[in-house]
Structure 1
Amino acid sequence: MPEGDTIYWAARALQRTIGGKVVTGFETGLAKLARVDDDSPLVGRVVEKVESRGKWLLIYFSGDLILVTHMLMSGSWHLYRVGEKWKMGRSRMRVVIRTEDWEAVAFNVPIAEFYTARSLERSSQVPKLGPDILSDEFTVEGGVARLTAYGRENPNAEIGVVLLNQRVMAGLGNVYKSEVAFAAGVNPFRAMRTITEREMERMVDFAQRYMKANVAEGTGAGIVTTSGNRQTTHAMNREERLWVYRRQGQECRRCGVAVMMRKQGVQVRSTYWCPECQPMR
């Protein structure tokens, strides 16, 4: 399930391999992208930079053209040496960006659009993102300010839903939502009006700490576009890497009480928590 850390890894890997390189080939299975390529061919353009913004990945080409993709639940970017066999079938291919040495392939990507710098500013989604937790400019104070402001306007919103709101803070997904709330000792179903400033500080701090730890150099092998298995505990055993996510009915790693799960929000996302460590106040 792609979250902000997965997109960060993908952007970093793409930047290292195709960043600064000339595009020698472009393919797509999406008609709207093909039309742009027909009118303004990508071949010959330079990949100026690749960056992540929350769960969005942006590839900037010379000549003021930006490819914006979102993975949703099933999309992924892969990197292959030219001529190397793909790990997924061609029917799942949505975009191929080829340079002299590399092929960047987007599989099962549900959202892919070309923009100019100006049209991207007018986009209804990307420019309205909250601060990216993985950006160098992100601070705990800034994250708390965003939560506070949102809570003031939406006092009855559940904190578990708010943590997933990309317009408040960008990057957190369903795994980190449950893990961050647990680490901070906050019940994810509590209303924003009940959340204290100290609890907000703890959640934002854990969010930044966990996500940065999972994209740190050395947490993957070679040039990869996925961070693999996330980890929020300090356990060496990969089966014990998370506190509560997907551990419904199992013993809490802190108190021994059974972890619970309930669907939450209009998107009906699974939320995991410990009723003892995260009491409803």
Structure 2
Amino acid sequence: MPEGHSVHRIARQFASNFVGKPVAASSPQGRFAEGAALLDGRTVESVHAVGKQMFLEAEGALWLRVHLGLYGAWDFSGEILVDPTIASANGRMGQTNQRGTDLSEQTAILDDAGENSLSSIGAPRRTRVHVRMSEATKGLADDGAEWPPPVVGQVRLRLLTDTTCADLRGPTACVLQTTDEMLATVAKLGPDPLVGDAGEGEERFVAAVRRRGVPIALLLMDQAVVSGIGNVYRAELLFRARLNPHTPGRDVPEATVRALWRDWVRLLAIGVETGQMMTMDDLTPEQYRAAMAHRDDRHWVYHRAGLPCRICGTDIVLEEIGARKLYWCPRCQA
């Protein structure tokens, strides 16, 4: 399932290419035909991400809410102006990782693990491309031979401007809402570091965690407690905090809860910038490039069941909690 960084990147892609433009909307699959008919011809006025959900505002106070879920994806094609706040396809990021590794002069970094890769999104330029944006797909080349592009597979919703096409496939939710309905949906979501005041978000997060007797591993995945955290970030945040995932929220020291939030602020920003859930620290430039290219080199514990902990050598444990996989080190997080 796409985690928060992916949805924010998708929202920024829409902001760059659709805001201020009228869209032709259709439902090739037919399952969103009535909604598409209501959207058709309206101008996109704004787009926002909150956690794992995106809200696109069309003229007339009509909101499209999309939750990609486990299998959803947006495919962008045509002439795409890429948001300048996210990493470039040629690897010239001009930023640093968590602990200061300067990558401004690095060459291309490509991902072979199936996440959104640096090749998916380029520097601010116009180009004929085809980009799939979901948690488990990479950008694909487009020869630009036909416009609009032919519909391939089960497309729930197609949004089309004169130059750019966005196809939505397999979402968990694709619904139209009034402004009041959209605000009610957002009100049920936990704080997102990139939405509103981060300090206020921290206070909401701390209060929600420390009044519950639920294991912290479940609270981090509860979108009413905090928005955007999924399986990968959950495991990595807990390891980075050296926190036992079964600790009840009310028993986690307040200082540790605040540190979790602040680490989420930092990791989410890196994920939005690079398109990767990079959670390793203190890497050399060579190690960072390897981690950006290969998921196995990017995480402390996630997807490392049975492998030695990178810190203590104890085998990483895999268990199921809340019907989701949890990876953790029973020694470092004892």
Match of residue 261 from structure 1: 318
Match of residue 148 from structure 1: 207
| 1:36 shift after superposition | 3.6
Q: How does 1:2-151 map to 2 (within 5 A)?
A: 2-31=2-31, 33-38=32-37, 40=38, 42-81=39-78, 83=147, 85=149, 90-122=152-184, 125-135=185-195, 137-139=197-199, 142-151=201-210
| 1:6 shift after superposition | 0.6
Instruction: Give the secondary-structure state (helix, strand or coil) at the position aligned to 2:237.
Output: helix
Mapped partners of 2:208, 2:192: distance in 1: 17
Relative to 1, partners in 2 of residues 1:136 and 1:215: Cα closer, same or farther, differing over 3 Å?
farther
Mapped partners of 2:315, 2:230: distance in 1: 23
Match of residue 267 from structure 2: 210
Q: 1:177 aligns with which of 200, 215, 234?
A: 234
Instruction: Give the secondary-structure state (helix, strand or coil) at the position aligned to 2:26.
Output: strand
Amino acid at match of 2:179: A
Does the 8 Å CA contact 2:28/2:154 hold for their aligned counterparts?
A: no
Does the 8 Å CA contact 1:158/1:188 hold for their aligned counterparts?
A: yes
Residue segments in structure 2 that go unaligned for 5+ positions in a row: 80-146
Instruction: Give the secondary-structure state (helix, strand or coil) at the position aligned to 1:114.
Output: strand
Q: Does residue 165 of structure 1 match 2:247?
A: no
Instruction: Give the secondary-structure state (helix, strand or coil) at the position aligned to 1:10.
Output: helix
Mapped partners of 1:172, 1:94: distance in 2: 26
Instruction: Give the secondary-structure state (helix, strand or coil) at the position aligned to 1:215.
Output: helix
- Identical residues among aligned pairs (%): 30
Match of residue 245 from structure 1: 302
Mapped partners of 1:54, 1:63: distance in 2: 25
Mapped partners of 1:5, 1:108: distance in 2: 19
Amino acid at match of 2:260: M
Match of residue 191 from structure 1: 248
Q: Does residue 270 of structure 1 match 2:325?
A: yes
Mapped partners of 1:160, 1:27: distance in 2: 38
Mapped partners of 2:20, 2:243: distance in 1: 45
Instruction: Give the secondary-structure state (helix, strand or coil) at the position aligned to 2:187.
Output: helix
Mapped partners of 2:260, 2:209: distance in 1: 15
Residue segments in structure 1 that go unaligned for 5+ positions in a row: 220-226
Instruction: Give the secondary-structure state (helix, strand or coil) at the position aligned to 1:81.
Output: strand
Instruction: Give the secondary-structure state (helix, strand or coil) at the position aligned to 1:188.
Output: coil
Mapped partners of 2:261, 2:74: distance in 1: 28
Instruction: Give the secondary-structure state (helix, strand or coil) at the position aligned to 2:272.
Output: coil
Does the 8 Å CA contact 1:128/1:167 hold for their aligned counterparts?
A: yes
Mapped partners of 1:115, 1:59: distance in 2: 10
Instruction: Give the secondary-structure state (helix, strand or coil) at the position aligned to 1:190.
Output: coil
Instruction: Give the secondary-structure state (helix, strand or coil) at the position aligned to 1:147.
Output: helix
Does the 8 Å CA contact 1:162/1:168 hold for their aligned counterparts?
A: yes
Mapped partners of 1:213, 1:57: distance in 2: 19
| 1:60 shift after superposition | 0.6
Does the 8 Å CA contact 1:56/1:70 hold for their aligned counterparts?
A: yes
- Deviation track 1:99-158 (CA, whole Å, cap 9, x = no partner) reads 011011111112110011123344xx433111112325223x642542334432x22x00
Q: 2:279 aligns with which of 225, 232, 241?
A: 232
Mapped partners of 1:84, 1:120: distance in 2: 31
Does the 8 Å CA contact 2:209/2:216 hold for their aligned counterparts?
A: no
Instruction: Give the secondary-structure state (helix, strand or coil) at the position aligned to 1:93.
Output: coil
TM-score (norm 1): 0.85
TM-score (norm 2): 0.72
Instruction: Give the secondary-structure state (helix, strand or coil) at the position aligned to 2:198.
Output: coil
